[in-house]
Amino acid sequence: MFGALGVGAAGVGVGVASGYAVGQSDDDGSVGAGSGAEQYDFYGQHQAGITTPAQDRMHFAAFDVTTSDRDALIELLQEWTQAAAAMTAGESVGGPLPYEAPPADTGEAIGLPASGLTLTFGFGPSLFVDESGEDRFGLAERQPAVLNRLPHFPADALQENRSDGDLCIQACADDPQVAVHAIRNLSRIAFGRASLRWSQLGFGRTSSTSTAQSTPRNLFGFKDGTANIKSEETDVVKESVWVAAGDDPDAEWMVDGSYLVARRISMSIETWDRTSLAEQELITGRDRQEGAPLSGGTEFTEPDFAAKGGDGEFLMATNSHVRLAHPSQNDGVQMLRRGYNFTDGSNELGRLDAGLFFLAFVRDPDVQYIPMQTRMSAQDGLMEYLQHTGSALFAVPPGAAQDEWVGQGLFA
């Protein structure tokens, strides 16, 4: 019985269902067309869910590894890989088990298409060395130099139960049930080896990752991510997103991977809604209707930070969000954003617990994220309406070949 229901069942229950064909993939890894028909091959040079056109829904989960057995951790990653390959192909996890045993798949996605599901896995700094300095799995010497806990930025109000983690999974899909189903199945497979630390549901992407996508709006009503890197900008993606050979001699296993910054940002919705449109636009640096910079033009016109009005003041305020976040004001560095809106009911004050779940992929967080966030936390006018409550940084390894598993290079 324990063989059927316990750890052994996990190994049996994650085999990819046989007999399906992924078909020919486009350059972005997509297969099929039409609502819900999109499929993204799990295997490849890079993990899907990074340059993939951003889907509409997201379920993000961070885990603590509860086992001290290195082999058990490897087994978990192998089983996660098999299950992820099945679910991204629109298949159920595992095969038939005895009728008296729990089913291998939780079942809530039966009959639903793949819905563009992508599953992206990452490793937190605590997987390598814990808070006490212990090398938990013999990986300390392979920890990337830039993989450290993010610093406590000015005005941060971080909650431990919304921050950090040993492992992470980003599930994105165009159907929320498909994304939730994926995390549920993977959490179940992890039983006895890893436990859920925190998770976040997201809806309505707040960035475009393809030129084919229109610019979405955040919960403040403004277009978000106009200047975001697009997957079609292959040279920029190569320069700003993917880890290259030689970046870190002690972490060559990260080549073709990336680093994921996750920040849960609560928005003071009620206060913002009582702010004049003129003040909202001044703080943001764009007009709300079209998304054009206040220096003039259309949405995609480059902001003119030197332009002044008749009163001698800069049209793009020195504390405006667009000015402080623009690459030209940050030594040219860029990042690939994949954030989502969220609403988690109401807080203890009876206000909306809502905001932005910020996700960004970078080649080097020490260069591309930390300096900019330090500056914005101290100077951005939007900070009056924001509170960062969650924070994490993960190393996202390269994709896996058909006969490999995610993170295999780390353990080689």
Give the pLDDT confidence of 132-155 residue by residue, as tens digits. 999 999 999 999 999 999 999 999
Q: For the chain, what percent of residues have pLDDT higher than 70?
A: 91
Residue 165: both structure tokens together: 């983690």
Greater confidence (60 vs 347) lies with 60
Residue 95: both structure tokens together: 């095969």
Secondary structure E strands in 179-335: 194-205, 258-267
Alpha-carbon distance of 338 to 361, in angstroms, equals 8
User: How do residues 24-55 score in pLDDT, each as one tens digit?
Assistant: 344 444 444 445 679 999 999 999 999 999 99
Q: Is 365 exposed, middle or buried (0-12, 13-18, 19+ CB in 10 A)?
A: buried
* pLDDT exceeds 50 at position 5: no
Alpha-carbon distance of 82 to 93, in angstroms, equals 8
Whether the CB-CB separation of 251 and 142 falls below 8 Å is answered with: yes
The model's pTM: 0.91
User: How do residues 277-305 score in pLDDT, each as one tens digit?
Assistant: 999 999 999 999 999 999 999 999 999 99
- Coil, helix or strand for 286? strand
Whether the CB-CB separation of 208 and 216 falls below 8 Å is answered with: yes
**Ramachandran region of residue 51, left (φ > 0), alpha (ψ -120 to 50) or beta?**
alpha
> Which has the closest alpha carbon to 233: 264, 218, 211, 260?
211
Alpha-carbon distance of 359 to 61, in angstroms, equals 13
> Which has the closest alpha carbon to 30: 53, 7, 13, 8?
53
User: How do residues 212-227 score in pLDDT, each as one tens digit?
Assistant: 999 999 999 999 989 9
Alpha-carbon distance of 212 to 235, in angstroms, equals 18
Residue 152: both structure tokens together: 């406590």
Whether the CB-CB separation of 244 and 252 falls below 8 Å is answered with: no
